[in-house]
């Protein structure tokens, strides 16, 4: 059984993970953290991480970018693997996380779905074949409560595609402030916010004659929650190093 400290436990993702762990003999949430006080869980919820006395195997974090530096320090002080799922991290926080992976084990992914990570592999393959004859556009859609745009996943896709392009690319976010024709080196990234969309991502490869679209639709938050629990099992017992969903995909493919 993997014992979990769940940070951001009162949020949408925190609740999804808590629900999946109920009556699941493989996982136990032993404590949580949030800025909201909560007495409805069967585990204690700390608003100050220093007060946590429980022992645990891993930390899963789905909270807010501003909270991540504190959670990282908590992980370092307890010498436990840190699974960072929160998005929109500052460059400084990303650098601090990378540095910390020399001290503790870190798992970081802006999208914990196995399907999205497969989609990224397919988009990289398509880019190798279709660039520069096809224009590349990424369109993402999320629920109307999402704070950051574009999504961390859209940026993951854009960065992965960028690695396959030998030219200097330019990311163009929406086009409202760009009064010029599209260049071949451009990767367009557009965001839609509305209703209760869990997370849609399309990568479009567009030529004069045809359009190839690679699509992913998350139908429920459980896809991310299940990925985070999969990562918890993967990270349990690891002492240091930096891991991503690619390491979990590699387990499926045996590479
Ligand atoms: N990696 C992935 O696959 C994935 C999937 C979904 C969401 N996310 C990201 O996870 C994060 C949380 O998403 P959500 O939909 O659950 O959001 P949410 O707003 O529903 O929940 C966030 C929770 O964190 C708490 N929180 C906020 N600031 C805090 C702080 N300073 N200290 C402690 N707790 C704090 C809030 O009170 C809330 O309970 C976001 O960054 C989101 O983009 C990542």
109 lines ligand 1 (CB under 6 A): yes
Full-model pTM? 0.86
Q: Is the CB of 117 under 6 A from ligand 1?
A: no
Report the alpha-carbon distance of residue 177 to residue 146 in Å, rounded.
22
Q: What is the Å distance from ligand 1's center to 246 Cα?
A: 23
What's CA 187's distance to the chain center, in Å? 21
- Out of 7, 80, 142, 201, pick the active-site residue: 142
Q: Write out the chain's pLDDT in tens, 255 residues.
A: 999 999 999 999 999 999 999 989 999 999 999 999 877 899 999 999 999 999 999 999 999 999 999 999 999 999 999 999 999 899 999 999 999 999 999 999 988 998 998 899 999 999 999 999 999 999 999 999 998 899 999 999 999 999 999 999 999 999 888 889 999 999 999 999 999 999 999 999 999 999 999 999 999 989 999 999 999 999 999 999 999 998 987 877 766
Task: Report yes or no: 148 and 165 within 8 Å, Cβ to Cβ.
Answer: no
Instruction: Go through the domains of the chain in sequence order and give each one's CATH number.
Output: 2-108+221-253 (3.40.50.720), 114-218 (3.30.360.10)
Closest C-alpha to ligand 1, atom 2: 111
Alpha-helix residue ranges (DSSP H) falling in the chain: 12-21, 68-78, 91-100, 114-130, 152-163, 222-235, 245-253
Which residue has the CA at smallest separation from atom 28 of ligand 1? 64
Of all protein residues, the one whose alpha carbon is nearest to atom 18 of ligand 1 is: 11
Task: Please give the distance, rounded to the nearest whole angstrom, from the Cα atom of residue 86 to the centre of ligand 1.
Answer: 6
Q: Quote the CA–CA distance of 154 and 178 in Å, as a whole number.
A: 20
Any ligand 1 atom below 6 A from CB of 127: no
The three-point CA angle 217-219-222 to 5° equals: 120
How far is the C-alpha of 45 from the C-alpha of 51, rounded, in Å? 10
Q: Which atom of ligand 1 is nearest to the CA of 63?
A: 24
Which residue among 62, 151, 216 is best mutated to probe the pocket of ligand 1, counting the most ligand atoms within 8 A of its Cβ? 62
146 is catalytic: yes
Ligand 1 pocket check for 115: Cβ under 6 Å: no
Q: Which of 5, 7, 9, 13 to mutate to test the pocket of ligand 1 (most atoms within 8 A of CB)?
A: 13
Query: Rounded to the nearest whole angstrom, what is the distance from the C-alpha of residue 26 to the centroid of ligand 1?
Result: 24
């Amino acid at each position: 059984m993997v014992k979990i400290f769940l940070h951001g436990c009162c949020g949408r993702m925190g609740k999804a993970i808590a629900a999946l762990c109920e009556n699941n003999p493989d996982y136990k949430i032993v404590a949580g953290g949030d800025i909201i006080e909560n007495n409805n869980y069967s585990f204690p919820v700390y608003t100050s991480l220093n007060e946590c006395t429980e022992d645990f195997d891993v930390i899963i974090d789905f909270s807010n970018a501003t909270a991540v530096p504190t959670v990282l320090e908590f992980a370092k002080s307890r010498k436990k693997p840190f699974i960072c799922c929160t998005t929109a991290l500052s460059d400084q926080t990303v650098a601090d996380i990378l540095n910390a992976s020399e001290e503790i084990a870190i798992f970081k992914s802006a999208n914990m779905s196995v399907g999205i990570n497969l989609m990224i592999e397919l988009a990289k393959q398509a880019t190798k074949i279709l660039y520069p004859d096809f224009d590349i556009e990424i369109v993402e859609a999320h629920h109307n409560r999402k704070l950051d745009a574009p999504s961390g996943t859209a940026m993951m896709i854009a960065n992965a595609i960028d690695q396959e392009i030998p030219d200097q690319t330019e990311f163009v976010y929406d086009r409202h402030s760009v009064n010029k024709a599209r260049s071949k080196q451009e990767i367009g990234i557009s965001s839609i916010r509305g209703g209760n969309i869990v997370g849609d991502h399309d990568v479009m490869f567009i030529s004069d004659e045809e359009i190839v679209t690679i699509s992913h639709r998350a139908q429920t938050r459980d896809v991310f929650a299940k990925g985070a629990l999969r990562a918890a099992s993967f990270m349990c017992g690891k002492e240091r190093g930096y891991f991503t969903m690619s390491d979990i995909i590699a387990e499926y493919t045996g590479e």
